[in-house]
Amino acid sequence: MESVLAFIQYPAWLKPEIIPGLPFRWYGLMYLVAFAVAYLLVRVQVREKGIAVAKDDVLNLFFWAIVGLMVGARLVAVTVYSPDGYYLSHPWEIILPVRIVGGRPRLTGLAGMSYHGGLAGVIVASILYTKRKGWSVREWGDMLVTGSALGYTFGRLGNFINGELFGRVTTLPWGMVFPLAEEFSTREQWVGEVAAKVGIDLSGLQMVNLPRHPSQLYEAFFEGLVLWAVLWFVFRRRRSFRGQLMAVYIMGYGALRFLIEYVRQPDVELGFPIHLVRLDNPYIQFSPFNLTTGQILNLLMILAGVACYLLFQRRERLERAREAQIPPKISARKLRRRLR
């Protein structure tokens, strides 16, 4: 009698390349879709608010925001998430999607992008551009995060199609076997126990690929779709001060990503920088007191969001109080009448 499989096999028809043999990947296309969605949602908000701004100016804002995203995402990825010094000896690979393999150039794409670095890059680039144009940083920041939250969903779908950034080993029925995941020796007792629970036959196998949490889909749903829906349908309509949506986004993303990091596979080179509880097998054992690099960054992100919320709220209150003390402007005609 065949055992019932209690996991999902990664779809064999999903390939990173859109057309096999050509350097066009779904991951890159997902980024383009994400930018397009974010741009359209910002344009919707501009029309709703009746802001008089040229379409080219909004496009330019997005152009520089994307430049900031790419620069920030790569810099953090090659420094914080690559501590082995590889990029110090191969600096051209920081900006070029090419890696020398066996003495020959191989197109790899920009392998490694940090969300937190990308966010920092977007913030810096957007502040510089809006300041230059004389726009309200908080007003445009609210519109950008409200639009880009949905775009983030497509970025994580791109990770899923690439079969990367998968989660830790799980026996849950929606666990998925990713072809690029690390394989384990069938001689390990825990491997046999997990395989038995999910219905994998180890006969004749020396190594086996076990089911993982599809953490990319968790992130696409919670950090993308759910967070966008909360911002778009709840806070956007009840905003009490400029900058509120930015602060809520930073806190919300940080909190959701912090929780999902518990089931996401830590980077091999980094592991758990905060390791307060010793685990015999971190592949399947769990402790809320062992934190990844991503969780540390997310905690800082939550604190930054709280600080922004209080700061922006106070600033709005002071600006409104200052405006209330300024006497209304009198037209030249009314002024002449009063002088008579």
Task: List, for residues 31-64, the tens digit of each pLDDT value.
Answer: 899 999 999 999 999 999 999 999 899 999 999 9
Percentage of residues of the chain with pLDDT beyond 90: 62
Task: Collect all residues with Cβ–Cβ distance below 8 Å to 1 and sequence separation of at least 6.
Answer: none
Question: Helix H segments across 11-54?
Answer: 26-49
Task: List, for residues 77-126, the tens digit of each pLDDT value.
Answer: 777 766 666 556 555 565 555 556 566 655 555 556 788 889 999 999 99
Least confident interval from 48-57, 106-115, 138-147, 311-320:
106-115
pLDDT at 275: 86
Output the six-digit token pair for 124.
């810096």
Report the relative pairing of strands 176-177 and 8-9 from DSSP bridges: parallel
pLDDT at 16: 83
Across the range 267-272, mean pLDDT stands at: 73
Task: List, for residues 223-255, the tens digit of each pLDDT value.
Answer: 999 999 999 999 999 999 999 999 999 999 999
- Model confidence at 1, in pLDDT bands (50, 70, 90)? very low
Question: How long is the chain?
Answer: 340
Q: How many Cα atoms within 13 Å fall on the side-chain side of residue 31? A: 15
Give the residue with greater pLDDT, 165 vs 328: 165
Task: List, for residues 200-211, the tens digit of each pLDDT value.
Answer: 999 999 999 999
Cα 111 from Cα 102, distance rounded (Å): 18
